[in-house]
């Protein structure tokens, strides 16, 4: 099951759409994380790509976060760090990409999925796209994705999400800056995402690249920081608490 799923990319009229899917609520094993990071990096290097849309397939969750199958298979520190570093690679690829990344959020986002939303430069969502940070209940924490989320919504709100690990609805996300636009239907979401992408595809790529640098100013240390945070997660996932929780969750 870890190896199932896919990442695809499609380029049309300067708009590169990167799509990921996994049969377990779009949870992300390491191989999909690495593919996502690769496709984002490639989009940034491609002169024909003017703007990027990041989306997932399926009708339910946008992204359920880390793959529980892979979490359960982690037996040593190095493997844990390598897995959690996958989220670091995606976030760092997104912040370095000189093209705007538009997030098309069609459903709920949990844990690492919230990190993906935060890595986008502009997120459009539907009303049902609630978010949750549930890592503390697993015996770990959202360490790798923390800088990206904190950058979007602030330390206090990020801390509250982590501590009470309750669902936040799309309107809360809109008010706090995690989302930039919210729509009632998927059709409205897709129409708005396409309209914005087409408009941005006609703008100056040099201006866009300079704006990306400005938007992500102060994050140069993330190459090292996110890996250090992955080491914290890699250590905690080996704890008895985390292993017992993950085993009980998978047994349900």
User: What's the pLDDT tens digit per position in 127-173?
Assistant: 999 999 999 999 999 999 999 999 999 999 999 999 999 999 999 99
> Per CATH, is 6-201 categorized as 3.90.226.10?
yes
**24, two tokens:** 């377990």
Q: Match 């990167």 to its residue by tokens.
A: 18
Q: So what's the pLDDT on residue 141? A: 94
Q: Minimal CA–CA distance to 109: which of 136, 89, 134? A: 134
Q: So what's the pLDDT on residue 13? A: 97
Q: So what's the pLDDT on residue 5? A: 95
Each residue's pLDDT tens digit, 179-205: 999 999 999 999 999 999 999 999 999
Q: Minimal CA–CA distance to 126: which of 107, 143, 111, 142? A: 107
Nearest-10 crossing angle of helices 222-236, 146-153: 120
Are 155 and 212 a contacting pair, CB within 8 Å?
A: no
Tell me how far CA of residue 198 lies from CA of 49, 96, 145, 203, in angstroms.
12, 22, 29, 9
Are 63 and 14 a contacting pair, CB within 8 Å?
A: no
Query: Residue 122's beta-bridge partner residues?
Result: 102
Query: Residue 126's beta-bridge partner residues?
Result: 183
Q: So what's the pLDDT on residue 238? A: 95
- Concatenated DSSP letters of 142-199: -TTTHHHHHHHH-HHHHHHHHHH---B-HHHHHHHTS-SEEESSHHHHHHHHHHHHHH
Ranges of residues in the chain whose predicted pLDDT is under 70: 1-3
Q: So what's the pLDDT on residue 1? A: 46
Cα gap 151→138, rounded to integer Å: 24
Question: Long-range pairs for 239-243 at CB < 8 Å and ≥24 separation?
Answer: 239/139, 241/139, 242/138, 242/139, 242/140, 243/72
Which H/E stretch holds residue 9? Answer: strand 6-12
What burial letters (b/e) apply to 199-220, b meaning 16+ CB within 10 Å?
ebbeeeeeebeeebeeebeebe
């Amino acid at each position: 099951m870890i190896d199932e799923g896919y990442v695809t990319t499609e380029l049309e009229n300067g708009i590169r759409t990167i799509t990921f899917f996994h049969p377990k609520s779009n949870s992300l094993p390491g191989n999909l994380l690495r593919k996502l990071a690769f496709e984002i990096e490639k989009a940034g290097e491609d002169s024909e790509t003017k703007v990027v849309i990041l989306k997932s397939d399926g009708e339910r969750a946008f992204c359920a976060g880390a793959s529980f199958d892979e979490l359960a298979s982690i037996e040593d520190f190095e493997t844990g760090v390598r897995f959690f570093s996958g989220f670091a690679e995606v976030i760092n690829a997104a912040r370095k990409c000189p093209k705007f990344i538009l997030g098309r959020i069609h459903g709920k986002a949990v844990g690492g999925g919230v990190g993906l939303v935060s890595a986008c430069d502009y997120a459009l969502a539907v009303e049902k796209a609630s978010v949750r940070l549930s890592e503390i209940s697993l015996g770990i924490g959202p360490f790798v994705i923390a800088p990206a989320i904190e950058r979007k919504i602030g330390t206090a709100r990020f801390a509250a999400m982590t501590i009470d690990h309750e669902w936040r609805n799309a309107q809360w996300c809109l008010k706090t800056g995690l989302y930039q636009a919210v729509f009632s239907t998927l059709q409205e979401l897709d129409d708005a995402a396409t309209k914005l992408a087409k408009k941005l595809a006609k703008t100056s790529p040099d201006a866009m690249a300079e704006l990306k640098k400005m938007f992500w100013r102060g994050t140069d240390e993330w190459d090292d920081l996110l890996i250090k945070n992955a080491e914290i997660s890699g250590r905690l996932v080996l704890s008895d608490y985390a292993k017992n929780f993950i085993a009980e969750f998978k047994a349900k």
